[in-house]
Amino acid sequence: MAHDPPPSHDPPRSAAQPLTAPRGGVPDDSAASAIAELLHRVGEGQEDAFSDLYDRTSSLLFALVKRVVRDVSISEEVLQEVFVEIWKQAPRFDARRGSAHGWICTIAHRRAVDTVRSVDASRRRDSAEGLRALDENVVDVQEEGIMRVESQRVATAMRSLTPLQSDAIRLAYFSGYSHSEVAKILDIPLGTAKTRIRDGMIVLRDSLGVTS
């Protein structure tokens, strides 16, 4: 049965020696056995074992996380998440399926990769929002120029639009609906509504001689 994680304060320091990893990152037999024993005790809910495990492995795991994440402050946050997961998942560790060292490193690497993916996704969302805002601003500039001309000239210019463009323009700029609302009213995809509005505004701009 999984145990609740220990208190959020830093684990108490102990006399345990930090894990060193000779031979290409693999600990020697005595260090590997010590990690396995500590992990077994952590699985039983022994907080002193968790503290020792932290002391032995935190530097190694931080270096592993930082190689993936690169940002120091984010790496520190990920490291804390790693040890919380180790505490929760320790009862499930099975030495017959792999080493304790490999098990904790896998957790750290997975957390680091997930963090990078999450950050990248957030940046892509921010970028997409920025592009949408820019698109709306371009259309707003065109609208402002067109709304300044006489209503009769606008009415005449509207005849140069296709029926589909005209419907979208009238809903967006004369009825005050948002692009999303125009798409719902016309039962078309949002991208299609935006295209009709944009193309229609270009035609009106050219017909009226309005510069953006």
CA nearest 70: which of 59, 62, 58, 82? 62
Residues 83 and 172 occupy one common structural domain:
no
Distance of CA 180 to the CA centre of its chain: 25
The number of folded domains in the chain is 2
| Average pLDDT taken over every residue of the chain | 75
**Overall size of the chain counted in residues:** 212
Q: Give me the mean pLDDT over the 57-73 stretch.
A: 90
- pLDDT of 166 over the 80 cut: yes
- Which pTM does this prediction carry? 0.47
pLDDT number for residue 137: 44
Domain limits at 74? 22-122
Q: Give me the mean pLDDT over the 4-28 stretch.
A: 43
In-domain check, residue 132: no
Residues 34 and 118 occupy one common structural domain:
yes
Residues 198 and 114 occupy one common structural domain:
no
Residues 65 and 115 occupy one common structural domain:
yes
pLDDT number for residue 48: 93
At 82-126, the pLDDT tens digits run: 999 999 999 998 888 888 888 999 999 989 988 888 776 656 655
In-domain check, residue 105: yes
pLDDT number for residue 176: 73
pLDDT number for residue 119: 73
Largest Cα–Cα separation, the chain: 90
Residues 76 and 115 occupy one common structural domain:
yes
In-domain check, residue 60: yes
In-domain check, residue 142: no
In-domain check, residue 165: yes
At 18-36, the pLDDT tens digits run: 444 433 345 567 788 889 9
pLDDT number for residue 135: 46
Query: Whose structure tokens read 């979208």?
Result: 168
Residues 114 and 169 occupy one common structural domain:
no
Residues 202 and 161 occupy one common structural domain:
yes
In-domain check, residue 98: yes
pLDDT number for residue 155: 73
Residues 178 and 104 occupy one common structural domain:
no
Count of alpha carbons within 13 Å of 105, Cβ hemisphere only? 17
In-domain check, residue 127: no
CA nearest 62: which of 53, 75, 52, 77? 75
How far apart, in whole angstroms, are the C-alpha atoms of residue 68 and residue 87? 22
Supply the CATH number for residue 170's domain.
Answer: 1.10.10.10
pLDDT number for residue 18: 47
In-domain check, residue 195: yes
